[in-house]
Amino acid sequence: MRIVAGLAGEGRSVWKKDPNSSPVSETQMFLYDTFPKEFLWGVGTGAFQVEGSWRKDGKGSSIWDRFVHTEFRDADSTDVSSDSYTLLDKDLSALDFLGVTFYQFSISWSRLFPTGVVTAPNEKGLQYYNTLIDSLVYRNIDPVVTLYHWDLPLTLQEQYGGWKNESVIDIFNDYATFCFQTFGDRVKYWITIHNPYLVAWHGYGTGIHAPGEKGKITTVYAVGHNLIKAHAKVWHNYKKHFEPYQKGLMSIVLGSHWIEPNRSEDALDISKCQQSVERVLGWFAKPIHGDGDYPEELKNELSFLPRFTEDEKKYIKGTADFFAFSFGPNNFKPPNTLPKMGQNLSLNLREVLNWIKLEYNSPRILIAENGWFTDSHVKTDDTTAIYMMKNFINKVLQGLCATIKYDNIDVFGYTAWSLLDGFEWQHAYNIRRGLFYVDFKSEKKERIPKSSARYYKQIIRENGFFPRESTPSLQAQFSCDFSWGITESVLKAESVASSPQFCDSNLYLWNVTGDGLLHKVEGVKLKTRPAQCTDFVSIKKQLDLLEKMKVTHYRFALDWSLILPKGDLSVVNRQVLRYYRCVISEVLKLNVQSMVTLYHPTHAYLGLPAPLLQTGGWLNHSTAHAFQDYAALCFRELGDLVKLWITINEPNRLSDVYNRSSSDTYRAAHNLLIAHAMAWKVYDEQYRSLQYGKVSLSLHSDWAEPANPYFESHAKAANRFLQFEIGWFADPIFKTGDYPATMREYILLKNRKGLSHSSLPSFTSEEKKLVKGAADFYALNHFTTRFVIHEPQNGSQYEFDRDIQFLQDITCLSSPSRLAVVPWGMRKVLKWIKRTYGDIDIYITANGIDDQSLDNDELRNYYLGKYVQEVLKAYYIDKVKIRGYYAFKLTEEKSKPRFGFFTSDSKGKPSIKFYNKLISNNGFPADYSVCDPSNKEKECSFCLFISQKKPLIFFACCLFSTLILLLTIIVFHKRKRRKRFKRQLHVDVVEIPPQGSPGPLDDDGAALQRHADCEPNTEAR
């Protein structure tokens, strides 16, 4: 969100988003913090909704009494509603339970003055409100009193036409004056009118509210005009005659929807959003909180809009001591009546508060109505309402929290709506909005706290939000032999090398005829070299990506259908096997070990050889034997290079494929378990002693959290999810050799009730022995935490047998595919595995999130950092034996969620460096490193340089050797020429003249001697 100083008329700047804003900015995420100490917590009701007793003790009829009895079926049920008029003590007990600081309620005008005209008040009605106010003051609960919440005395409607007639303004002022005189000594907060937009628009426009008039748009705006003037008159009355000694504050509750532009960068869409809000909220807010007049857009568009005189503008301007704001379902329904202007409705309370701040010069704001609704059949388990409340209140906290430089909106109080279930206007009793459940058909009408009441009580007690699950960050490291890996899905093998030029003995000429093609030269054969693994281009790419990841382990899956296209050993594709062996061997040269998955099915691609699919796939027990043969082949051909094997990836998710009935689902799962166990046994008996590897299967292991912490049924549902999702496969292998007892018992219970005909297969005694203990470690794929609701379902399917539904926590940071980022769930599931299956080795074989960004995947960085931190806590504090962590995944796939560190065309993302740092630090070290990663890094860097630059090093050595050889030859030949020259010179000089020759003999002899003296220097040259 773009934060702007509060300048009047700048509301439209709220929609101007920063395109570079971070998805994990602390200013946008759920805020754990407290409200100011003086913050006010309240709850509200409307008189007509909860009081009942519409004809009791002299009360007069209101427009809603007549509207209900003429327009609604079951009208008699509205006579008592929650019956607050006679059950005041129960309302007060409900307020005590919550611990609120104020109670916002409305006075029924016709209960005090049956005809609406101020004469002698109805004593019973007067006594009721005096008792209510006195009881609140006694409890230190401030009364916030609304003078008019839609229940206009019927007489005023019949005699004057209601709010269409300006005469009602003075009558309303007389009624307000009586209330100030009677209750003002104990009331410090007054509301004149509750949501005048709905009074005018639905009461005199759409006709879905009383008095139910439809049609003329001019009447709608005339009513709105009169409501504004009525409010202003009452405000001036109070300020002049009562405020000096009662010291109270007054406002009018204004309600609105919120709207978001289709394109935040489009000025036209932003203008439409501004117009939409001005037509609803601005219609009343601009005259009262602005300049005393209607929005310019309204005046320009609506020629029939009533006009204020200059004196009236001055009189109306500023007639509110605070901005009382309503944001709830009534402001969004019916959606077809809202001026959406082609844009998108939104429930972002924080942004509409920012709009108010910027449009009306930072007023003090009271949230005078906020909450959501549930269906009428929901009693106390209003889980959805908890999450809506959590979201709304946290948006308020984000908006006002100045301590960390957020929006600094001046919100001083919050009203949860409503205290009790009651009559919900045009919805009658078809929805519920109360924090307390009321059975309208019972005599006692007990106020039973719902989950939302308990949650609101907790927020009030703590004055905000405290993190309950997360713990402070830990500075520590994993063991020095900890595995840091990256996971990939099935590697599609190349059956023929992509770079065959060194294997082809033919000579080619290019572009001989100008066609740009290669033409083979007949009769010419060249020397070739043997085929090499690096002839596969895809392997080169894999190596390049892995080198950048700096991991120690690489997990990938083989393609069963390519290796054994007929499903048995009759045809073995040796080229594909060679490809996979090349991958493993070349990866080893990077000092990276491979974790190989034999079978990686998905709901889109089952991955079985075609003949096996045709015979029923995993519904056929023979597929398990075929898998055993396939596994044995892979162990034999690749096992000398592989130390970690995964037989089957996420067999507990194949319920998405075999979902025709629960019988299919459970039978397929049974055969998958047997197949895994048979493969493990083959390795254990035939290959372990030679290859020293380990084998397991990888289970999808998301954590499950009760969506509603106040209901035991939700806790049981969460545990049931874990048993049906994880225990289904883990219990037979790591625990008992059989399916979880709770799983069997629950299915049997549903059978007895006639809700399901499902049944789990039974293991024979031999199968139990085979399956139990058939894993060397626990491998889990974990991505998120699921919030689980108990939801009874009828039918014979695996999904129905669990009796659960999932709830999306809208306050959680989520990915584009709606994966909630809940780091503490990782630690919880790791502790649960240890607690349930003992102190076994654990590998996290896949953990990651999708992030739409290609050039700044901050969400992935955040996710990795937070989740690895929780893994470290489980390892270091909880002593869970975690042996490795594998991030998911290496490359993303086209047209699928972006989970990859690399794009589908191998472009790296910034998260690579973040993961590199986690690996090099081996966790989150303090000032020192146990494993001394700096030296290790230097050593590994040198090793990697040697292994990757072998061709270059070989070429350099050859070049150096050639130079040495050439220099040696040159020196040899030079020495040889010098010796030849020396011998020739010696022959020429040593010729002796005839004896007896005078003089010259002495001279020549001297010359010879001089030559001999110089000869060593000549040789030296």
Q: If you write DSSP's letter for every residue of 694-742 in order, what string do you get?
A: EEEEEEE--EEEES-TT-HHHHHHHHHHHIIIIIHHHHHHHTSSS--HH
CA distance 118 to 361: 38
Confidence of residue 478 (pLDDT cuts 50, 70, 90): very high
User: For 651, phi and psi rounded to 5 degrees?
Assistant: -65, -25
What pLDDT sits at residue 799? 94
The pLDDT of residue 495 is above 80: no
User: Strands, E, within 61-124: which ranges?
Assistant: 102-106
Average pLDDT over residues 417-439: 96
Q: Cis omega (within 30 of 0) on the bond before 334? A: yes
The span from the CA of 98 to the CA of 829, in Å, is 34
State mean pLDDT over 406-413.
90
Local confidence band at 516 (pLDDT 50, 70, 90 cut-offs) = confident
Distance CA 985, CA 988 (A): 5
Question: Among 441, 447, 440, 448, which residue's Cα sits nearest to residue 380?
Answer: 448
**Local structure of residue 773 (DSSP, 8 states):** T
Is it the case that residue 390 has pLDDT exceeding 90? yes
- Tell me the average pLDDT across 822-827: 97
User: pLDDT for 892-951, tens place per residue?
Assistant: 988 889 999 999 999 999 999 999 999 999 999 987 666 754 444 444 555 555 655 666
Query: What backbone torsions phi and psi does residue 494 show, to the nearest 5 degrees?
Result: -90, 125
Q: How much is the pLDDT for 519?
A: 82
3/238: higher pLDDT:
238
Least confident residue range of 292-296, 494-498, 657-661, 772-776? 494-498
Q: Name the band, by pLDDT with cuts 50, 70 and 90, for residue 4.
A: very low
Query: Which whole-number Å values give the CA distances from 787 to 344, 353, 383, 722, in the listed order?
Result: 27, 29, 11, 12
Confidence of residue 499 (pLDDT cuts 50, 70, 90): low
Per residue in 126-164, pLDDT (tens digit) is 999 999 999 999 999 999 999 999 999 999 999 999 999
Please state, as a whole number, how many other Cβ atoms lie within 10 Å of the Cβ of residue 316. Answer: 23
- Per-residue pLDDT band for 502 (boundaries 50, 70, 90) equals low
DSSP state of 59: P
Alpha helices for 534-661 (secondary structure H): 537-549, 560-563, 574-588, 610-614, 622-638
Q: What is the predicted pLDDT for the residue at 179?
A: 98
For residues 90-104, give the mean pLDDT: 98
The model's confidence at residue 1016, banded by pLDDT at 50, 70 and 90, is very low
The DSSP bridge partners found for residue 3 are: none
pLDDT of residue 78: 56
Global confidence as pTM: 0.87
Please determine, for residue 566, whether its predicted confidence score (pLDDT) is greater than 50. yes
Which pLDDT band, with edges at 50, 70 and 90, does 80 fall under?
low
Q: Across the chain, what does the average pLDDT equal?
A: 90
∠ CA 246-324-387, rounded to 5°: 130
- Residue 1010's pLDDT band, with cuts at 50, 70 and 90, is very low
Give 509's pLDDT tier (boundaries 50, 70, 90): confident
pLDDT band (50, 70, 90) for residue 92: very high
Mean pLDDT of 840-856: 95
* 361: helix, strand or coil: coil
Q: What is the mean pLDDT of residues 274-279?
A: 96
At residue 531, the pLDDT reads 74
Question: How much is the pLDDT for 21?
Answer: 80
Per-residue pLDDT band for 972 (boundaries 50, 70, 90) equals confident
Q: Indicate whether 474 pLDDT > 90.
A: yes
933-948 and 950-989 are packed helices; what angle lies between their axes, rounded to 10 degrees?
70
**Among 204, 201, 217, 229, residue whose Cα is nearest residue 305:** 217
What average pLDDT does the segment 757-764 reach? 95
- What is the token pair recorded at 754? 């006639």
Nearest residue to 730 (alpha-carbon basis) of 863, 655, 836: 836
Edge to edge, the sheet with strand 804-807 lists 703-706, 785-790, 804-807
Mean pLDDT value of segment 717-735: 98
What is the band of 525 on the pLDDT scale with cuts at 50, 70, 90?
Answer: confident
Pairing outcome for strands 785-790 and 703-706: parallel
> Helix (H, G, I), strand (E, B), or coil: what is residue 370?
strand
**77 has pLDDT over 80:** no
**Alpha carbons 588 and 372: distance in angstroms, whole number:** 58
For every residue of 6-51, DSSP letters joined together read --TT-GGGGG---TT--TT-TTTS----B--TT-EEEEE--HHHH-
In one letter, which amino acid is 86? T
pLDDT of 532 reads 79
List phi, psi (to 5°) of 716: -65, -40
Which residues share a beta bridge with 705? 787
